[in-house]
Amino acid sequence: MDTETLLRTAQAWADADPDAETAAQVRALVGAKNVQELDDRFNASLEFGTAGLRGVLGGGTNRMNRAVVRRTTAGLARYLKATVPDVSTRGVVIGRDGRLMSPEFAQDTAAVFAAEGIPAWVFKGVAPTPLTAFAVKHLNAAAGVMVTASHNPPEYNGYKVYWGNGAQIIPPHDTGIAKAIDAIGPAKDVQLMNEDEARRKGLFHDVKDAVTRAYLDAILALRPTHQTDGLSIVYTAMHGVGGALVMQVMSDAGFKNVTPVPEQQQPDGRFPTVRFPNPEEKGAMDLSTALATKVKADVVLANDPDADRLAVMARDAAGALVMLTGNEVGVLLGHFLLTQQKNVNPLVVTTIVSSAQLKAIAAALGSRYAETLTGFKWIANAALDEAKHGVNFVVGYEEALGYSVGPVVRDKDGIGAALVVADMAAWAKARGLTLFGYLEEVQRAHGLFVAKQFNATLPGATGAATIKAVMEAFRAKRPDAIGSAKIVATNDYRTQQRTEGGTTSALSLPSSNVIAYELAGGHRVTLRPSGTEPKIKFYFEWRETMAQGEPIAQAKTRAAKRLDELETDFLALAATRGLPR
């Protein structure tokens, strides 16, 4: 939009903003005629999708703020009343993490629902994401809202929506809610009901401690071996909201040697010891690694700020603490639960960008296996669909450190997964193995798969255009090979077509902007724009054949070299298709 239109749009937004602080931000930018910043804040609106909302805090349509939250909640309320006949009796669960503005966003969400005649079930303080998801189903609520930006940097916040089945929303609910939001007027006109009045009218309820206890009891029942002896654990909450429940459930389970990282145990939305509170980011695990070295811990367990993800470090063959990848943890959980639990008609689920090793394990162990699009909403809903046919959901995972064990939580659960990983580590230690030793057993039995990921961060409108152009260039100029590796099949999930040997067939998964290349030898490369961050992601997996009796380190070194070569060859292709070097 031209400068004058931009200034008028921003001024009108500030005049309708119910938050004096963000309104003042925008007015100051208008007064200074800071066109560049205003354009970034108003050239688009945060789009409501299957991941809900997530964005940088601040004033503007392209930011997370109270105006956006109030309009979003009003739209969600109207959609629920139109599609869920008993929403006015079942209500909606509201949880929040410890991020900046999370208390205010949760308060506004409850106030709007109450004004719409929908009861709000509200956690009294912070609540981890898996607990909020559990509470939706446990309380038979019509929906749930979790205020969180998960593992994003401190300046972010978000708004995640659950349906009454306890899983994140999927189509057509996402588009239906988005249309309802678009029909809502200015934020200043959205009706609110204060907490005192809402309580008097039965439209505001505290989530009782009994719900938390029910969640803890349910995840305690997930452990297959119930071993604890001799295991030393260091745990970090990463300044998030998982700390109290993890320490409680570990104690309940009988783990006596769990040491939290004190500087990171309490919720703090400023994240003072980490710039990027994601266990996968460089430096995020420094404090926990140092503490684990000091106390000679066997494993390190780390949650992200809303405790839906889990990172795991263990001792390698040389005794050094090394991070397991998300794929390695997911594969170990799958093997452990399939072999140590008594499961009738078991099901394991992962995503199209996660390791194919779980598929090989499932086939060998007689388990059903399913692949979904990226995102736990798809894993949870696939598990629910399969359950109609009498299967027992054992575990679901995605490579980005997300796991859910059993049917307790229909989303990622970094707390339940932490408990089962501790159980698995204690079981392995009783057999004289570390988790890496156990992993070697699995790899020797079911194949050596190594994987890595490359992320290109391209912020702003220019970055979004570049990401789109790169994906379209790969579609327009299809490669026949990546380096020396021939492409034997291409799966384009946006067009829902698979091309193999000159033949095209239909893919069954929903449409999504993802391209996957299957290479001769069982290797894979997958391209996918992120749904929550300004990134395009490339996933690489190499399947290596091990010689009989070959040392695992030798095979891994060879596989890693070939994986690096595959990445280099692919990025060279991507550069010719518009990816910035």
Six token digits for residue 135: 């509470």
> What is the separation of C-alpha 388 from the centre of its chain, rounded to a whole number of angstroms?
25
Contact assessment for residue 423 and residue 223, using Cβ atoms and an 8 Å cutoff? yes
Strands (E), 2-84: 53-56
Measured distance CA(31)–CA(8) in Å, rounded: 11
Q: Cβ contacts of residue 196 below 8 Å, gap of 6+?
A: none
3-state SS class at 497: strand
Please pick, among 150, 288, 367, 404, the residue that the annotation labels catalytic.
Answer: 150
Helix orientation angle between 129-138 and 209-220, rounded to the nearest 10 degrees: 100
Question: Terminus-to-terminus CA distance in the chain, angstroms?
Answer: 30
Q: Is 581 exposed, middle or buried (0-12, 13-18, 19+ CB in 10 A)?
A: exposed
Six token digits for residue 574: 């991507």
Within a 10 A sphere around the Cβ of 214, how many other Cβ atoms? 15
Helix orientation angle between 435-446 and 357-365, rounded to the nearest 10 degrees: 70
Q: Is the peptide bond before 172 cis (omega within 30 degrees of 0)?
A: yes
Contact assessment for residue 125 and residue 506, using Cβ atoms and an 8 Å cutoff? no
What is residue 379's DSSP assignment? H
> What is the separation of C-alpha 21 from the centre of its chain, rounded to a whole number of angstroms?
30
505 catalytic? Reply is: no
Measured distance CA(375)–CA(349) in Å, rounded: 12
Six token digits for residue 210: 């009994």
Q: What are phi and psi of 482, to 5 degrees?
A: -120, 105
Contact assessment for residue 424 and residue 329, using Cβ atoms and an 8 Å cutoff? no
Contact assessment for residue 276 and residue 284, using Cβ atoms and an 8 Å cutoff? yes
Measured distance CA(79)–CA(41) in Å, rounded: 27
Nearest of 456, 522, 452, 536 to residue 485 by alpha carbon: 522
**Residue found by looking up tokens 């490579």 in the block:** 399
The three state secondary structure string of 141-176 is CCEEEEECCCCCCCCEEEEEEEECCCCECCCCHHHH
Contact assessment for residue 222 and residue 408, using Cβ atoms and an 8 Å cutoff? yes
Contact assessment for residue 376 and residue 395, using Cβ atoms and an 8 Å cutoff? no
Catalytically annotated residues:
150
